[in-house]
Amino acid sequence: MKAARSDRGSQTRKLLLFTAERLFAEYGVEGVSNRQVSEAAGQSNNFAVGYHVGSKEDLVVAIVRRHAESIERRSAEMVARLPAVPALRDWVSCLVRPAVEHLASLGVPSWYARFIAQAMTHPTYRKLVFDEAFASRSFRHCHEGMFRLVPQLPEEVRRERDDMGRLMLVHMCAERERALQEGTASPRSTWESTATGLVDALVGLWLAPVTGPR
């Protein structure tokens, strides 16, 4: 009896996380209250989020963590298969493909890329997303591997290209997620070829010559 109740609690928690992810993806994390999440998940108790998950911050962290575990597992497997002397493209692949493969595994519609795109626009939630999604052991390992093969760049350019790469990855995936749901065209036919295009583009971005002002 106790197990059944705890199963139900865990199901409710999953439902709340999934509902919150979709609402945040559509309306932004700021634009949706915990009460609205509880209501949209069909909970008669308006404090269901508070009871099953916690604060808005806890909710954001729980959503990211659910996906980050699968991405980290894929990433660790890919790192284990790296050649003895990886090239820049190999490290970039290890940063891009695990996340894109995870999105592909979610089916249509998925909301995670759009959720991340929304969460990154808010100072508090951006930090939570960074700490959970971009600070995993494997992600940091690949990031460091990549930087060892990128030409010497002024610190501001290095940070800027890191931002650019992140924005390109997140928003290309968010646009593809949206296009798949809407049934509209997307440049690439599969998530896998989307990943290939992103890897090519990111290698080009990191190797681009740096000029001074015009």
Binding positions for a copy of itself, rule: CB under 8 A: 27-28, 31, 89, 93, 97, 114, 121, 123, 156-157, 159-161, 163-164, 167-168, 171-172, 174-175, 178, 182, 184, 187-189, 192-193, 196-197, 199-201, 203-214
45 versus 208: smaller Cβ distance to a copy of itself = 208
Residue of 92, 17, 116 whose CA lies nearest to 62: 17
175-191 per-residue burial string, b: 16 or more CB within 10 A, e: under 16: bbbbebeeeeebeeeeb
Least separation in angstroms between residue 68's CB and a copy of itself is 22
Least separation in angstroms between residue 208's CB and a copy of itself is 2
C-alpha radius of gyration, the chain, whole number: 19
Residue of 189, 161, 173, 160 whose CA lies nearest to 133: 173
DSSP string, 94-113: HHHHHHHHHHHHT-SS--HH
Least separation in angstroms between residue 130's CB and a copy of itself is 13
66 versus 122: smaller Cβ distance to a copy of itself = 122
Least separation in angstroms between residue 46's CB and a copy of itself is 21
